[in-house]
Amino acid sequence: MSSFSKKNSPLKGIVPPMITPLNQDGSLDTESTAKLIEHLISGGVHGIFILGTTGEFTGLSYDVRRELIFETCNRVAGRVPVLVGIADVSLEESIKLGAYAAEAGAYALVVAPPFYMNIDQQEMCAYYEQLADAITIPMYLYNMPSHTKLTIELDTVIKLSAHERIIGLKDSSAHGVYFQSLCHAFRDHEDFMLMVGPEEMMAETVLMGSHGGVAGGANLYPQLYVALYEAAANRDFEKIKKYQYCVMEISRNIYQVGGFKSSYMKGLKTAMSFAGLCQAVFAPPLYPFSSGDVEELRSRVEKIDALLKENQL
Amino acid sequence: MSSFSKKNSPLKGIVPPMITPLNQDGSLDTESTAKLIEHLISGGVHGIFILGTTGEFTGLSYDVRRELIFETCNRVAGRVPVLVGIADVSLEESIKLGAYAAEAGAYALVVAPPFYMNIDQQEMCAYYEQLADAITIPMYLYNMPSHTKLTIELDTVIKLSAHERIIGLKDSSAHGVYFQSLCHAFRDHEDFMLMVGPEEMMAETVLMGSHGGVAGGANLYPQLYVALYEAAANRDFEKIKKYQYCVMEISRNIYQVGGFKSSYMKGLKTAMSFAGLCQAVFAPPLYPFSSGDVEELRSRVEKIDALLKENQL
Amino acid sequence: MSSFSKKNSPLKGIVPPMITPLNQDGSLDTESTAKLIEHLISGGVHGIFILGTTGEFTGLSYDVRRELIFETCNRVAGRVPVLVGIADVSLEESIKLGAYAAEAGAYALVVAPPFYMNIDQQEMCAYYEQLADAITIPMYLYNMPSHTKLTIELDTVIKLSAHERIIGLKDSSAHGVYFQSLCHAFRDHEDFMLMVGPEEMMAETVLMGSHGGVAGGANLYPQLYVALYEAAANRDFEKIKKYQYCVMEISRNIYQVGGFKSSYMKGLKTAMSFAGLCQAVFAPPLYPFSSGDVEELRSRVEKIDALLKENQL
Amino acid sequence: MSSFSKKNSPLKGIVPPMITPLNQDGSLDTESTAKLIEHLISGGVHGIFILGTTGEFTGLSYDVRRELIFETCNRVAGRVPVLVGIADVSLEESIKLGAYAAEAGAYALVVAPPFYMNIDQQEMCAYYEQLADAITIPMYLYNMPSHTKLTIELDTVIKLSAHERIIGLKDSSAHGVYFQSLCHAFRDHEDFMLMVGPEEMMAETVLMGSHGGVAGGANLYPQLYVALYEAAANRDFEKIKKYQYCVMEISRNIYQVGGFKSSYMKGLKTAMSFAGLCQAVFAPPLYPFSSGDVEELRSRVEKIDALLKENQL
């Protein structure tokens, strides 16, 4: 079990929201999982976050979720912290999965609000407190209004941060004012981790003092996002410009094929299948690109690969 | 297992979305469940729908969901059709619960779209088809955009209605044009059940030819909603006026105490606890009213009780 | 000036939101305006509402708005009440236009909330009260959340209804529960007019006791909507079924060509141009259909024409 | 008339969206206008933007708008560029106001999409092109989805940027990914101005290479925002930290009194009235704070004043 604790140094850097490698029958592709973990760690990531939105956590059965937790914690074997998403609509199922993750050696849990009922902030607050009381390892809040319909408002974050096991927040809202408000509120609490989800915003928020990013693209190109993070942390503007360019090209080209609401998910996992990191197999309700979209993506990925090569990444 | 089939007469009337009676420790309150079922059946309801939004399905563990299915099917014992909500974010978990419900003797399943990912209509369509292929009893679509962020668009409903196991739709959107568009599209398919969720709209939609309503208030006052349904089905405008008045008074008074997004849920279940039909115990993220709100509700319920008495209901 | 007053009988029936006939140069097509007015009155409408959303009021210059008011009041010459939309973002401009309309002989004004600022209900309430104090003829509230981003909440309507010059509400929200809540709140105030915008919901809401509809399609086929209104008012279900079928066919076919957010506007005005009732000229930001869309629409309109002929409409 | 032209150096720095000083009777407070302009220019601002959202443009009559344009251009007298908001729902009214502003000596126009109709990107594009063709001075796009319901999508901006008179965009969406996508798309077009509205995001976006900010708070404390802009442009992180702290304190304290949707507007203008820069008079639908809210604001403003004094601002 984790020996990390709050009031220690917060997690910093790039923590990819790991995609979940699947076999055609929906079972966990353990071979790809092992390969992907090595790819990430050798790419320099500072942690691995499994069972997030990019990990298609909602589409997986509980059996697959548990298997992924077990496999990942075992494979990673303490080399980097493992963060485990346990968001659910049922508090009891979240608690069960959290206990399993703690037992498996996870560093911390990541929890979006329960995402079906329309609730008020006081209900959200009570929910998080019940959960935090029931788990044994630290927990990050996960703000994801586009998927949960709910925003964890600033005052709620402040209130929850008093709980000894709530140690930070990942914000995927893409709302720049919200995130700066968090940075301001926690300016004297360096130990409260603040990271953004959207990789396009990572550099600027690190420049402003936040801790890093949960960058989906780091599944494919971990070294790029690590290099951008370090450039931002070191205020090396020449490198920021160079790497941010690459990140934006990925965003513009890989995440938008086909015009689906899920194009990011489909583009990322399919591009990773080109690199042999997983199969292009999705959990329902997602399904693979048409062959036309695959070919369009392939030609785009080739250009990105060449671009990164030029940049020695 | 069910002997009902598509191309037979569709379900009509009042099908309450049954609240889930819970004990303080979160387990199923089986005694109240039994009592509530008798209350509903003796009140004349035409079916019972468990594990809907009003049933707090998302807040329940899978163990409790299965127990509720088993208890309900056993207690009802074929006296009215039992509909079981199996909406989930994981297709596999939906299928498992659907198989359990079929085995337990459910009449049909009710399924909202997977409610986390932002998906397109074609993905939603594929999802429903995979599910319908994997289950063995009929299924109703459940349109609930306020909670799922997704609308099952008219053309998707039309396409899905071709599946032999998809036999109707419950619409909780409160969108009058959407519902009339459904009624028009299925005007020659009397066997495709169309019901509204919001009880305030039930009478008018039945007047226009739809099949009934999934009225939450029927948990408390089943005879009122049955009487209103029958008045509408019989085009008895004097009775419609009288009973619609009661339904609107309930809506205005019982469902709006405290100004919570969840006031409907809290008001209904708490009012039912006054009548001894369940405890005022909720699944997280909901929790009980403050004592001030309870007292406010109590005085409102007393007036409603008196009103119904006046109307011999 | 109007001799109608509150506490008299409310307006009932079909009040088409008249489209604004325009010339290519953006000026008012007065000839078509005259023809259209005769078409509507001979079709049996119970009032004419100019400068609503269907009338493209926002796209018109104030000169054109005033000219339309003058022309319409003059042409109608008291044969039916003329309602004039004066919604604006500037209270002062609304008041000026309201004074002009009163002078021209309008029966009443119709006002949506100011549609740019995000405001609270108390600000909306104060705004309406200032406006109502400053005008000299009656006023209808206009609930149109899809365009204004604001809902006139039930309690706000109730509060505003106390003003002697606020005599009703047109609801274009398509929200069935909202509208039934209004009907319930005003059940003992028969003089407070309640009408729905979406023509697909008109029959059912009239059956439930409301006063009629502001039906866009009545620009083209006034006699159909009048017939449906009368069928609903007379509870003649055979006729309701027949005419509702026609209304839904129009909705499904004429209002959805091309898949634009503005397909309703484009389809209606273009179809009217086929009938010689106006030119297919729009105020920016709308513009005409492509020729492909025009041909698609033409063939659909021919089928609708034949259908209405069959029904002697 | 302006001698600035596209393909010259873009506007950079702090361009406050000037509040509109009003008298109790709704007329322009020309004395305060003159004083405010001197306050801004002596505070070092790089331009002045009148008739934006902060300028309550929608609440003003056209007479007041024209007077404000005339007064501002005259008073500023070329010392800094004057930008004039001409957003409207009527293209014709926009064009008229744009001609007036050009005549008065405005540097450029600023235009949000027409904000009532729900339109598609191609309609928005055509609208902007018609407008740009009809005006004689440069124009900035204004992305303000919270008020207009419409986003000017990236591809639309790219397309419109080809027009010789469209020279930049102000983004008030607060959407960090959207803004970085713009920065990336225009990375080789240094002359296409990109500024953010929300002042909380200004520093970070300038660090990433954008041109400045349309900071509302600069109405009150111009020197602070100018100092923060310069610190960001010079990558002086010590100063960024110090000034960003002040900006966030303003955001947290001055813009959130009373919990209104319009608290930003009310707080800013009322705080400015304390400093004698204008009266606390608003255009409807806004109205003044209650006296309790005024006192709360006053004590907050005193703290901010002290904070800025400490920082020699």
CA distance D170 to chain A (A): 15
pLDDT digits (tens, 9 = 90+) for A198-255: 999 999 999 999 999 999 999 999 999 999 999 999 999 999 999 999 999 999 999 9
pLDDT > 70 fraction of chain B, expressed in percent and rounded: 97
CB hemisphere CA count around D154 (13 angstroms): 14
**Which residues of chain B lie closer than 8 angstroms to C207, CB-CB?**
204, 207-208
> By CA distance, what is C25's nearest residue in D?
D92
Tell me if A261 and B118 make a contact (CB, 8 A cut-off): yes
Cα separation of D49 and C289, whole Å? 37
Q: Indicate the SS3 state at residue D170.
A: strand
**In the block, residue with structure tokens 């309550």:** D56
Cα(D49)–Cα(D19) distance, integer angstroms? 9
CB atoms within 10 A of CB D266: 24
Q: pLDDT at position C1, please?
A: 35
Query: What is the average pLDDT across C259-272?
Result: 97
Q: Nearest chain A Cα to D182, which residue?
A: A248
**Mean pLDDT, residues C158-165:** 98
**Nearest-angstrom CA–CA distance, A43 and A37:** 10
Tens of pLDDT, residue by residue over C275-307, are: 999 999 999 999 999 999 999 999 999 999 999
**Bridging pattern class, strands B82-85 and B108-111:** parallel
A312 vs D267: CA distance, rounded Å? 51
Is residue A214 part of an annotated ligand binding site? yes
Query: Is residue D2's pLDDT more than 90?
Result: no
Contact D123 C58 (CB under 8 A): no
Structure token digits, residue C189: 């105030």
pLDDT at A177: 98
Neighbouring chains of A at 3+ CB pairs under 8 Å are B, D
Tell me what pLDDT residue D263 has.
97
Mean pLDDT of chain D: 96
The single-letter code of the amino acid at B203 is A
Burial class (CB in 10 A: 0-12, 13-18, 19+), A242: middle
Residues whose CB is less than 8 angstroms from the CB of residue B26 and which lie 6 or more positions away in sequence, other chains included: A92, B61, B64, B283
- Among D131, D89, D149, B177, which residue's Cα sits nearest to residue C56? D89
- pLDDT, residue D7, reads 52
Distance CA C148, CA C118 (A): 9
Query: CA D60, CA A220: separation in Å to the nearest integer?
Result: 53
Three-class SS of residue B32? helix
CA distances from residue B2 to A157, B101, C158, C274 in whole angstroms, order as listed: 49, 11, 50, 55
The two tokens of residue C271 are: 């179809």
Structural tokens at position C71: 């022309």
pLDDT score for A4: 42
In this prediction, residue A313 has a pLDDT band, given cuts at 50, 70 and 90, of confident
Q: What confidence tier does D9 reach under pLDDT thresholds 50, 70, 90?
A: confident
SS (H, E, C) chain C: CCCCCCCCCCCCEECCECCCCECCCCCECHHHHHHHHHHHHHCCCCCEEECCCCCCHHHCCHHHHHHHHHHHHHHHCCCCCEEEECCCCCHHHHHHHHHHHHHHCCCEEEECCCCCCCCCHHHHHHHHHHHHHHCCCCEEEEECHHHHCCCCCHHHHHHHCCCCCEEEEEECCCEHHHHHHHHHHCCCCCCCEEEECCHHHHHHHHHCCCCEECCHHHHCCHHHHHHHHHHHHCCCHHHHHHHHHHHHHHHHHCCCHHHCCCHHHHHHHHHHHHCCCCCCCCCCCCCCCCHHHHHHHHHHHHHHHHHHHHCCC
Q: What is the distance, to the nearest Å, from the Cα of residue C79 to the centroid of all Cα atoms in its chain?
A: 18
> What is the three-class DSSP state of B264?
helix
DSSP string for residues in B141-160: EEE-HHHHS----HHHHHHH
B4 pLDDT more than 80: no
Both structure tokens of D216:
């509302």
- Spatial separation of the C-alpha atoms in residues A303 and A297, rounded to whole Å: 10
Q: For the range B23-30, what are the long-range contacts, defined as Cβ-Cβ under 8 Å and sequence gap of 24 or more?
A: B23/B279, B23/B281, B24/B279, B24/B281, B26/A92, B26/B61, B26/B64, B26/B283, B27/B64, B28/B64, B28/B67, B28/B68, B28/B71, B29/B278, B29/B279, B29/B281, B30/B67, B30/B71
Angle, helices B237-253 vs B222-233, to 10°: value is: 140
Q: What residue in A sits closest to B25 (Cα-Cα)?
A: A92
Average pLDDT in the D3-29 region? Answer: 86
Task: Using a pLDDT cut of 70, give the percent of chain D over it.
Answer: 97
Optimal mutation site among A154, A181, A200, interface D, most CBs of chain D within 10 A: A200
User: Sign of the CA dihedral B111, B117, B118, B122?
Assistant: negative
Count of CB atoms situated within 10 Å of the CB of B201: 26
> What are the residue numbers of the active site of C?
142, 170
Domains of chain A as residue ranges with CATH: 12-235 (3.20.20.70)
In single-letter form, the type of residue at position C38 comes to E
Confidence bin at B1 (pLDDT 50/70/90): very low
Once rounded to an integer, what is the mean pLDDT over residues D217-228? 98
Q: Is the pLDDT of residue B113 over 50?
A: yes
pLDDT at A1: 34
Q: Which amino acid is at C313?
A: L
> Which tens digit of pLDDT belongs to each residue from A119-175?
999 999 999 999 999 999 999 999 999 999 999 999 999 999 999 999 999 999 999
Residue C3 pLDDT > 60, yes or no? no
Q: How far is A175 from chain D (nearest CA, A)?
A: 5
Cα dist. B65→B84, B85, D269 in Å?
A: 10, 10, 55
CB neighbourhood size of B162 (10 A)? 8
Residue B2 pLDDT: 40
3+ Cβ–Cβ pairs closer than 8 Å linking A and C: no
- pLDDT, tens only, C67-98: 999 999 999 999 999 999 999 999 999 999 99
Distance CA D261, CA D240 (A): 29
Chains with at least 3 CB pairs less than 8 angstroms from chain D: A, C
Q: Are D135 and D109 in contact (CB under 8 A)?
A: yes
User: B touches which chains (3+ CB pairs under 8 A)?
Assistant: A, C
Q: From edge to edge, which strands make up the β-sheet containing A139-143?
A: A13-14, A212-213, A193-196, A166-171, A139-143, A108-111, A82-85, A48-50
Residue in B153, B154, B177, B237 to test binding to C, most C beta-carbons within 10 Å: B177
Residue of C46, C47, C56, C48 lying closest to C20 (CA atoms): C56
The residues near D303 (Cβ < 8 Å, ≥ 6 apart) are D249, D253
Q: For residue A117, what is the DSSP state?
A: S
Quote the pLDDT of residue C313: 87
The answer to whether the beta carbons of residues C46 and C250 sit under 8 Å apart is no
Closest CA to A208 of A176, A238, A239, A161: A176
- Please compute the mean of the pLDDT values over residues D119-136 and round it to a whole number: 98
- Rounded distance between C-alpha atoms, residue D91 and residue C25, angstroms: 13
Whole-number pLDDT of residue A201: 98
Token code pair at residue D118: 């729900």
Residues in chain D within 8 Å Cβ distance of C90: 58-62, 283
pLDDT tens digits, residue range D236-293?
999 999 999 999 999 999 999 999 999 999 999 999 999 999 999 999 999 999 999 9
Q: Does pLDDT of C30 surpass 80?
A: yes
**What is this structure's pTM?**
0.96
Mean pLDDT across chain B: 96
Question: Where does the pLDDT of residue B48 fall: very low under 50, low under 70, confident under 90, or very high at 90 and above?
Answer: very high
Cβ-proximal residues to D10 (8 Å cutoff; 6+ apart), any chain: D167, D168, D190, D191, D192, D193, D211
CB D119 within 8 A of CB C262: yes
Give the residue among B135, B64, B53 at the shortest CA–CA distance from B87: B53
What Rg, from alpha-carbon coordinates, does chain C have?
A: 18
Kindly state the tokens that stand for B204: 């008018």
Of the residues D107, D128, D170, D266, only one is catalytic, namely D170
Provide the sign of the torsion angle of the four alpha carbons D157, D158, D159, D163, taken in this order: positive
Q: What is the pLDDT of residue B3?
A: 40
- The alpha carbon of residue C139 is apart from the nearest alpha carbon of chain B, in Å, by 26
Q: Which residues have a Cβ under 8 Å from the Cβ of D223 and sit 6 or more positions away?
A: D43, D44, D313
For residues C142 and C172, the answer to whether their CB atoms sit within 8 Å is: yes
Chain B residues whose beta carbon lies within 8 Å of the beta carbon of residue C180: 200-201, 204, 244, 248
Q: What is the mean pLDDT of residues B157-184?
A: 98
B108-111, strands of its sheet edge to edge: B13-14, B212-213, B193-196, B166-171, B139-143, B108-111, B82-85, B48-50
**CA A167-A169-A175 angle, 5° bins:** 160
The answer to whether residue A36 scores a pLDDT higher than 90 is yes
A112: closest CA among B288, B114, B285, B97? B285
CA terminus-to-terminus distance, chain A = 35
pLDDT band at A7 (very low <50, low <70, confident <90, very high): low
Mode of pairing for the β-strands spanning A108-111 and B82-85: unpaired
Could you tell me which of B197, B243, B203 has the C-alpha nearest to residue B221? Answer: B243
Contacts of C51 in chain D (CB under 8 A): none
